[in-house]
Amino acid sequence: MSLNANWSYPTAIRFGAGRIAEIAEACKTSQIKKPLLVTDKGLAGMDITNKTLDHLEQAGLGRHIFSEVDSNPNDKNAEEGLKLYREGGFDGVIAFGGGSALDLGKVLAFMVGQKRPLWDFEDVADWWTRADADAIHPVIAVPTTAGTGSEVGRASVITNSTNKEKKIIFHPKMLPVIVICDPELTAGMPQFLTAGTGLDAFAHCVEAYSSPHYHPMSQGMALEGMRLVKEYLPRAYNDGNDIEARAQMMSAAVMGATAFQKGLGAIHALSHPIGAVHNTHHGTTNAVCMPAVLQFNKSAIQARFDQAAAYLGIQGGYDGFCQYVNELNHSMKIPQTLTELGVENPDLESLARSALNDPSVGGNPVAMDYDNTYQLLKGLV
């Protein structure tokens, strides 16, 4: 089977090993003449980044990079990036990296022509209509991890540095116009990052599948995404250069992020404030929260996961699925508690209130209130 394709759902995706070589042509197709490559500090000096910049430079597109992106990107990163973007006269973004760089890159392209402050475009009601859609610049997304799926998302998660809350900034035109999914860019990714990002993709699929909202296309995508993670994440974890496994995990990440149009839930509602306050890795935090949330939602999802378990080849229905999740976490050295994750002296009352303000709450199949959310967090410590 050839793992090489061109997809147009949910956007134009160029998928396959070596396709980063098409970056300059993708800029031409997107009418980008002076791109700014946005990445994180860790990737800035790596070979995959330098080779991408080489492709751009050789095509006469310059060699411009912004890498002041924190692991949980925030408004200060956005302000600094926008200053450089505007002063440099750039006309498009290449968002290159994991979820942090992808999210910030999309925000720079979105905000460059806006007159209102960033938080006026939070994913609340129809606030996105406040934006000047004609002033949004194009984004080419190049993921270098297989997890968040931000490359196919219409939103970015940005931390408010003042109150330490993660906010979702949304606009339909934040969707990248072209995505280059090249599994060779993820080869050799460290095990801890392979696990954390891969389990992030898994969490997206699990929560989309659990959501009570109606979206049968997303439901099917979530189920198949879980299967890909089950089959290929252990392979990618054990052999960082297994290109087939890396490719299938990139597919799972895209599928998870497309599927969660159906909704997210308590896993993300909890992990967003935990990550914002304690600066934990998002995907790993999701993995820590997942077993407890599965139990929390049991009454609403048991029959559904009986079916999922059968499709995935897991014995024991819902209970077997939960056992599988525990074993998968253990096999990848995922902490069992927030304390083991490095969260010290958490303010559970504040985290519970923040969780209930997160948009993901609306997609959880069991209604969340202060009491049950507080108890859920308490059980994770």
Which residues lie across from 170 on neighbouring strands? 155
- pLDDT, residue 2, reads 78
Q: Structural domain boundaries of the chain? A: 5-185, 189-380
- pLDDT, residue 361, reads 95
- pLDDT, residue 9, reads 79
- pLDDT, residue 185, reads 97
Beta strands in 137-253 (DSSP E): 139-143, 155-160, 165-170, 178-181
- pLDDT, residue 6, reads 80
CA dist., res. 220 & res. 213, Å (int): 13
In the DSSP assignment, the letter for residue 35 is E
Is-contact 102 132, C-beta < 8 A?
A: no
- pLDDT, residue 58, reads 98
**What's the CATH architecture for 189-380?**
Up-down Bundle (1.20)
- pLDDT, residue 290, reads 98
- pLDDT, residue 188, reads 87
- pLDDT, residue 276, reads 94
At 73, give phi and psi (nearest 5°).
-60, 145
Q: Give CATH for domain 5-185.
A: 3.40.50.1970
β-pairing, 165-170 vs 178-181, is: unpaired
Q: Is-cis flag, bond preceding 10, omega within 30? A: yes
Written in H, E and C, the secondary structure of 57-102 is: HHCCCCCCEECCCCCCCEHHHHHHHHHHHHHHCCCEEEEEECHHHH
pTM for the whole structure: 0.94
Q: Which residues in the chain come in under a pLDDT of 70?
A: 1
β-pairing, 65-66 vs 92-97, is: unpaired
